[in-house]
Structure 1
Amino acid sequence: MTRNSAEILAKWIGEAKRIVFFGGAGTSTESGIPDFRSAGGLYESGQNEFPFSPEEMLSSDFFYRHTETFYRFYRRKMIYSDAQPNPMHLLLADLEHEGRLSTVITQNIDGLHQKAGSRRVLEVHGSVLRNTCLSCGEEYGLDAVMGSEDIPLCSRCGGMLKPNVVLYGEMLDSNVLEASVRAIEEADLMLVGGTSLTVQPAASLVGMFTGGRLALLNRTPTPYDSHADLLVTEPMGEVAQQVRHLLGYK
């Protein structure tokens, strides 16, 4: 990212009144959480250890048919409880605190936006931090999953716990999608970061943005590049660090 690009982005942020951020796996890779298909990512590492593809193991059908294997994969490859927010997470939290950013919409399930201090976060694919008993509906945190060696069970009724993440074959939460659409339609600056914009229906949310400027931060090309007013292909953490400096954030 050139200094000029950083200055443009910082200028747009300073002029905006209602910023919305839409992010994917690339938002968290600099926090040590691998994305799905890059070299050394979830897909490659998962195939080396398990006889099923990650897509199959992260499906609703697999969860119910092979629950023990699901949780073994889930704990090994989907949980990064020691990960810390990177400069992009911190920039977004700063912007929310200042009243410029209205909403973070994320495809990630790691909870790092909240860890950085963001409060208005819409999690399109759910979160590893929340788990529900399928029998009585009791809610549990991540400790209930990580503290069990096999299938985590409800301490109240003994029922099986299920992570509140959207598995393949499940529907996205309509309330989250509706709130995301409203936030995008009301925004005057949309920042899109760390996503290939190929996963539907979440990626189609970007097409709902019709007002103001669109800045797209991604290492590789996306189907929406031609619609962006600014394209940035450098690492998001570096981008955010420069912008935070230009905006006077510490």
Structure 2
Amino acid sequence: MNATEQLVSWIQESKKIVFFGGAGTSTESGIPDFRSAAGLYQTEQHSPYPPEELLSRHFFDQHADIFYDFYRGKMLHPQAEPNGCHRLLARLENEGRLQAVITQNIDGLHQKSGSKNVLELHGSVHRNACMDCKRFYSLDDIIRSQDIVPHCISCGGVVKPDVVLYEEELDQNTLYLSVDAISTADLLLVGGTSLTVQPAAQLITYFQGKHTVLLNATPTAYDRQADLLITEPIGEVMNTVDQLLG
């Protein structure tokens, strides 16, 4: 039995699957990750501002125009479509096997594929709000805005994406729900994440179930603790799993 067949077997015998994923989940949909050789942190290394600076709260407050130039050019991918990973997870949820998708991504592709119980640790580009009156704005509103920095049509306040920037805390309710989902799962699928971003990466330590499967192209500090390690592209692997499940 090869690794993919083992994964299929564990999925078939599981009733409470949880998926914890990162940027690598969406690279096959054309969205770059952060830390790989082709990721944002590498491609932007010659910028006068490192990505960690550009994506910090103090930088947004002081230089919203530069932030939005980077954000629109590098972080928004409205044409991206779900890949095999997103589609399989939506199927497993629809079949009642998967309890939750916990994601570090902000692209909304899990919901686009049909997943409903998605816990977005770092927020979403699809939610934006005026910092003053809290009026909601969609991703389309941000893209269509003629202003370098989108402003509220009601009060004129600056519109901020509902994404967690450096120096900002994660939503406590989302963290609580994530811990609860992982601690009660019988199969934990971890995919497309370097497991270096805290406190999100610490969440997998709450798993007490039967098997942990790690699907990641590059090594992580958690490799030796996983029951099954798969390094092939996650979208392709999940496509194969989908076919083998019938």
Could you say whether these structures have the same fold, taking a TM-score greater than 0.5 normalized by the shorter chain as the test? yes
Q: Please tell me the root mean square deviation across aligned C-alpha atoms, in Å.
A: 1.0
Indicate the residue corresponding to 2:67 in structure 1: 70
Equivalences for residues 139-154 of structure 1 within 5 A: 139-149=136-146, 150-154=148-152
User: Is it true that 1:110 corresponds to 2:79 in the alignment?
Assistant: no
User: Is it true that 1:82 corresponds to 2:76 in the alignment?
Assistant: no
Indicate the residue corresponding to 2:90 in structure 1: 93
Q: Which runs of 4+ in 1 moved over 2 A?
A: 44-48
- In structure 1, give the amino acid aligned to 2:130: C
Q: Partners in 2 of 1:6 and 1:39 — Cα distance?
A: 26
Partner SS for 1:89: helix
The 8 Å contact of residues 103 and 183 in structure 1, kept in 2 or not, is answered as: yes
Indicate the residue corresponding to 2:210 in structure 1: 212
Identity among equivalent positions (%) equals 62
Indicate the residue corresponding to 1:138 in structure 2: 135
Q: Partners in 1 of 2:51 and 2:59 — Cα distance?
A: 10
Q: Partners in 2 of 1:172 and 1:232 — Cα distance?
A: 29
The 8 Å contact of residues 184 and 208 in structure 2, kept in 1 or not, is answered as: no
Q: 2:161 aligns with which of 147, 160, 163?
A: 163
Instruction: Say how many residue pairs are matched.
Output: 245
Partner SS for 1:242: helix
TM-score (norm 1): 0.96
Q: Partners in 2 of 1:5 and 1:95 — Cα distance?
A: 19
Deviations 1:70-107 (CA, angstroms, capped at 9, x unpaired)? 00000000000000000000000000000000000000
CA shift, 1:237, in A, is 1.2
- In structure 2, give the amino acid aligned to 1:65: Q
The 8 Å contact of residues 93 and 99 in structure 2, kept in 1 or not, is answered as: yes
Indicate the residue corresponding to 1:188 in structure 2: 186
Q: Partners in 1 of 2:216 and 2:77 — Cα distance?
A: 22
Indicate the residue corresponding to 1:24 in structure 2: 22
Indicate the residue corresponding to 1:174 in structure 2: 172
Q: Partners in 1 of 2:106 and 2:236 — Cα distance?
A: 22
The 8 Å contact of residues 46 and 77 in structure 1, kept in 2 or not, is answered as: no
- In structure 1, give the amino acid aligned to 2:75: M
Which deviates more, 34-43 or 209-218?
34-43
The answer for unaligned runs of 5 or more in structure 1 is none
- In structure 2, give the amino acid aligned to 1:34: P
TM-score (norm 2): 0.97
CA shift, 1:156, in A, is 1.3
Deviations 1:153-186 (CA, angstroms, capped at 9, x unpaired)? 1111111100000000000000000000000011
